[in-house]
Amino acid sequence: MVTVEVDDRSSWTGDVQPLVEQAAFLIAEIGLHPDTELSLSLVDPDEMSDLHAEWLDEPGPTDVLSFPMDELRAPEPGQPSEPGSLGDIVLCPQVAAEQGEAAGHGQDAELELLLTHGLLHLLGHDHAEPEEHAEMFALQDRLLAAWRARER
For residue 39, what is the domain's CATH number? 3.40.390.30
CA–CA dist 38, 69 (Å, integer): 9
| Amino acid 28: pLDDT | 94
Count Cα atoms within 13 angstroms, Cβ side, for 70: 16
Domain that holds residue 59: 3-149
Q: pLDDT tens across 76-130, in order?
A: 888 889 899 999 999 999 999 999 999 999 999 999 999 999 999 999 999 999 9
Nearest-10 crossing angle of helices 130-149, 106-122: 130
State how many domains the chain has. 1
Count Cα atoms within 13 angstroms, Cβ side, for 105: 10
